[in-house]
Amino acid sequence: MMTSGHLLDIQNLRVQFTTRRGVVTAVHDMSFTLDPGETLCLIGESGSGKSVTGLAITGLLPKERVCSGSVLFNGRNLLDLGDRQMRRIRGKEIAMVFQDAMSALDPVHTIGKQIVETLMAHEDITYRAAWDASVEMLGLVGIPDPKQRMLSYPHELSGGMKQRAVIAIALICRPRLLIADEPTTALDVTIQAQIIELLRALQSRLGMALLFVTHDLGVVAEIADKVVVVYGGRVVEAAKAASIYESPRMPYTRALIDLAPHFDRPRPRGERLPAIPGSVPDPSVQLSGCAFAPRCSEAESRCTEIAPSLEEASARHLVRCLRWRDLAPFPRRELGA
């Protein structure tokens, strides 16, 4: 058995899909680690490979895919496990919260039944004991009158309550790793803050590691220990959260920070919201040079010709950019979710 000392150790993960247009690489040589009780935020725009990475960890990718590299969880390479072995781990040791709570919940079964069946699938426990544990978990995630809500169907709950119910299902077996795939995207700002605070409190109480997938650096500022910025299926910057905010080296990271709300710089009325020009690259098209170069305000001609490697800009701060040494310091700002 391979060991690394980390709870989760992903090295050179590559995910490819076979399509009618040929083989498409969604994730290129992804590498990062996560320790018990730690929060790592995987950040990037839609189509950058974040969710595919989470699905690769949990073994939920479709069969028309090829994964290489290694995904070590507690010393075991999850890519080597069969479906039956992964079912024993998924839900019990690794759980996932999806961004669309309504799609994640079964509309024809009560919330209580869905929590109970998850617990009974992984634990040798009576139905009565599973029911009582499920009521306790609903209370733990902040749902009022949990005994009554056990009998509710998903459509009877508000968006925030549905997301809390999904979190309860994910946590009922006390997993060691929780993967939250943009769990606040469909919620209003007030509920977003409540869900983030809930995840932080539950993480502290249960001692689990949290892999938080998002596109919002304002959210990341609230919870992250480490940040991995992903673009075009590749890690383009990785460091401790404080280092990312104080001295981002990759222009893409700087652009994402500019998009986040700033407490120290209120936006004047009528000012246009900032945006990154262009769109994420089509993964089916092979690009020479840096994938972000067509959208980058700092790009030079060599950026479209030479593919940058991941370099160590400082201790434990990695960056994939040809020009990171030349760029002026980025002003430190106070972000808000």
Q: How large is the average pLDDT for residues 251-267?
A: 77
pLDDT of amino acid 264: 57
Residues 6 or more apart whose CB falls under 8 angstroms from that of 331 comprise: none
Q: Read off the pTM.
A: 0.90
Domain boundaries, the chain: 101-174
Q: Whose structure tokens read 């919940």?
A: 105
Examine the pLDDT at 267 and tell me if it is beyond 70. Answer: no
% residues pLDDT > 90 (the chain): 65
pLDDT of amino acid 97: 93
Q: How large is the average pLDDT for residues 252-271?
A: 75
pLDDT of amino acid 337: 46
Q: To the nearest whole number, what is the mean pLDDT of the chain?
A: 89
- Report pLDDT digits (tens) over 44-100: 998 899 999 999 999 999 887 889 999 999 999 999 999 999 999 999 999 999 888
